[in-house]
Structure 1
Amino acid sequence: MSNFARYARQVILPEVGVNGQQLLRDSSALVVGLGGLGSIAAAYLAGAGLGRLVLADRDRVEASNLQRQLLYRQADIGRAKTEAARAQLAALNPEVEIELRDAGTWPQAVPAVDLVLDCTDNFPARFAINRACVAARKPLVSGAAIRMEGQLAVFDLRRGGPCYACLYPDHGEAAETCEEAGILGPVVGSVGAMQALAALQLLLGIGEAGRLQVWDARQMRWRSHKMTRDPNCPVCGAQQDGH
């Protein structure tokens, strides 16, 4: 294993160990969305020594991003988020292979990664990511945050659980945005960090799927809800039955 000292604090954990660290080194993840969720999640995954990170985002860094998207700097304003993120993550951990994808090509990366993190902020993107994960039978770590609230859910068809569309049927509702409703930086950062944690647990074989975690930041409280599969789900129904 390369650079043991870099990962010593997590290798000492019984849940990781030398074998687990090598497993992370051999693993890959696709992060779709590099805003308040994705910029934090990607940094933690790179820091943990994930072997390959695939990054996708269509936006450029704006001044209003810097309040919560701590991967970026003042000098990055106007730069594509994917390029700025790659530079910062490579500076953090040059051992991580980083691949960039645009809005049109990220679905092609799904079959070639071990899991996907949905860090987007709109329902059309979330539904598209879910469909791609269901088709490729890849675990999906989904996060969302707005105002003083957040959500985290892990969907894993390999364990017979639901998909995102079982929880949120695709009716085309418009999602409220942080620009409209506001967001406190540590709220979205907390959810992004939890997405990275859930991803690392899945890769290490100790993760749990099938629960919706709801974060009430004002009360500093998480609530957990069991999710159930919709047998008539138009996205995962046939996949779950192996057809």
Structure 2
Amino acid sequence: MPELPEVQTIVRGLREEITGAQIEKLQVIDPRISLPEKKIIGKRISAIERRGKYIVFKLSPSGSLIFHLRMSGRLLRVCAEGEGRYSRLVLHLDSGVLRFVNPRRLGTVEYSANGFPHELGVEPLSEAFTPRRLRGLLKGSRSPVKTFLMDQRKIAGLGNIYAAEALWRARIDPRRPANTLTPKEGHALHSGIVTVLKEAIEHMGTTFSDYRTADGTEGGFQDFLAVYGKDGEPCSRCGTKIERIKQGGRSTYLCPGCQR
């Protein structure tokens, strides 16, 4: 699933391409998508923003289109051969088309007349996300720290990849209860979260299978991952073999040698 860096990369690309474009037609291909066409057609995309893992098209004079890509969704200006058959929604703009490609049909799109309707936690790249704010959130949770990091009600945008990478950078075992972290560990975790997200954005995100930027380009941060998907390989810091365990039915990667 695209996480904060991937979604931010898509938003950045779309801003350059379609901000100010007018929506001339909606072509709804998936019958499960229900949108009030009369409230959308004719409006301009005045701004494109990210909130957690959501992509928000602000419309002028009012309303928003809100996309969540889930496991395999993409918003593409350019489709590779064969991708078009998975289009579930096509926005016909006065500057071209934008396709919501959704092979597994898990991605969502909704219209909101009154702002952003979902309750999310603090944005980890915002000024509000301070070491002190993180420590306060950690103290209030007995969940395993990796589970805590992936709770979108606590911190918006982190998922499996970057939670694992941030914990490795902070030398923290993902199974530790969140409220057992010391102030020093909390500060290290804050640094790990912020730095890994910024570096991943610089490399346009991580591509393993489905993720592509708005122009169809793959991300490049998969070449810089330390633990995610590296089970059986030596840790680049201490040489211990990376392990894969299950947490909440999902794979978690860690180094048992230097994550405590």
Instruction: Give me the TM-score of the superposition, normalised by structure 1.
Output: 0.32
Larger radius of gyration: 2
Q: TM-score, normalised by structure 2?
A: 0.31
